[in-house]
Amino acid sequence: MSTTDSTPGQPLLAARELYKSYGSTPALRGASAELCNGEILAVTGPSGSGKSTLLHCMAGIVRPDRGPVMYRDERLDHVSEERLSELRRTEFAVVFQFGQLIPELTTVDNVCLPLVLNGTDRRTAQEQARTWLERFGVLGRAEARPGELSGGQAQRVALARALVTGPKVVFADEPTGALDSLAGEQVMTELTSAARQLGAAVLLVTHDATVAAYADREIRLTDGRTAALEVSE
C-alpha cells in the first residue's frame, strides 16, 4: 500500500455519500466529508445527527453500509481488519470524550502503550511519553492512575497518548464534552497547537460552537445528511 502524502489539492481522507444503519435505525443517509493534510475540520450537528458515526466510519472503526471511505489511495471500507488495526497504531489516533485510559496503568504507561505496541523499547517509549506529558503540563502526574486524575488532566493524558506516535490524522470525538468551559478551552488550544506542529489533520466532532471555532472548516449534519459547509473565521 502506498504511504506517500496525498496529491496536492486532493483530500487526505474522504467519505462520499455514506449510509449506515444500526438495525432499523439509520445513522447516516448520504453524508460526505473530506479532510486535507494539516487541516482541522469540525463536524457539528444536534444529538443523534450522525456525527460520531461519520467519524467512526472515517476512522475505520465501523464500516459503512454503502459509500466509499478513501485514505490516500486506499479504500478503508474494503481493506482488512489487520490493515485497519495497523493504521490505527501508526497513522490514525482517536481521542474520545472520556479519554478511555486503561485504569490499571500509570499515566506514563498509558501514553507509551501505542509506542510499545509498535515495537519501541520500553525505556525509549517512556522517555517520549514523558516529553508529551510535560508538553501538556501533566508530567507531575506521570505515576498516577487514571482514577487519581481530574477530568482535564485525564483528557490531556489522552491527547498525549494520541499524539505520541506522530499520527497523520487525529479523530477527536467530543474531546471537551466532559469538561468545564475553562478546561475545554485549554484542551482545544493544546490539541490544535500540537496538531499543527506535527502537521496532523484533525477531524473534530462537537456540538459546541466554541469548540468548532478552533477548526479551519465546519460541516453540519442533520438527520445523517451533510447539511451545510461553513468556513470558520
Considering its fold, how many domains does the chain have in total? 2
pLDDT, residue 232, reads 44
- In the predicted model, what is the mean pLDDT of residues 40-61? 93
Distance CA 225, CA 216 (A): 21
Q: Do 84 and 124 sit in the same domain of this protein?
A: no
Q: Domain end: 166, 188, 212, which one?
A: 166
Same-domain status, 31 and 84 = yes
Residue 9, pLDDT score? 55
Span 67-89, average pLDDT = 93
Model confidence at 104: pLDDT above 90? yes
Say which DSSP state 66 is in. B
Is pLDDT of 23 > 90? yes
Q: Among candidates 157, 151, 124, which has minimal Cα distance to 139?
A: 157
What local confidence, expressed as pLDDT, does residue 184 receive? 86
Whether 5 is covered by a domain: the verdict is no
CATH code for position 75? 3.40.50.300
Quote the pLDDT of residue 186.
86
Q: What range defines the domain where residue 213 resides?
A: 10-91+171-233
Residue 59 lies in a domain: yes
Looking at the fold, whether 86 and 17 belong to one and the same domain comes out as: yes
Q: Is pLDDT larger for residue 70 or for residue 46?
A: 70
Q: What values do phi and psi take at 123, rounded to 5?
A: -65, -45
The answer to whether residues 70 and 140 belong to one domain is: no
Average the pLDDT over 13-40 and give the result: 95
Mean pLDDT score across all residues of the chain: 89
| Mean pLDDT in residue range 31-39 | 94
User: Is residue 181 classed exposed, middle or buried when 0-12, 13-18 and 19+ CB atoms within 10 A define those classes?
Assistant: exposed
- State residue 7's pLDDT score: 47
Q: Are residues 162 and 50 in the same domain?
A: no
Q: Is residue 199 part of a domain?
A: yes
The overall pTM is greater than 0.85: yes
Same domain for 70 and 182, yes or no, is yes
147-205 tens-digit pLDDT: 999 888 898 899 999 999 999 999 999 888 888 888 888 889 988 999 999 999 999 99
1 has a pLDDT exceeding 60: no
Looking at residue 2, its pLDDT comes to 37
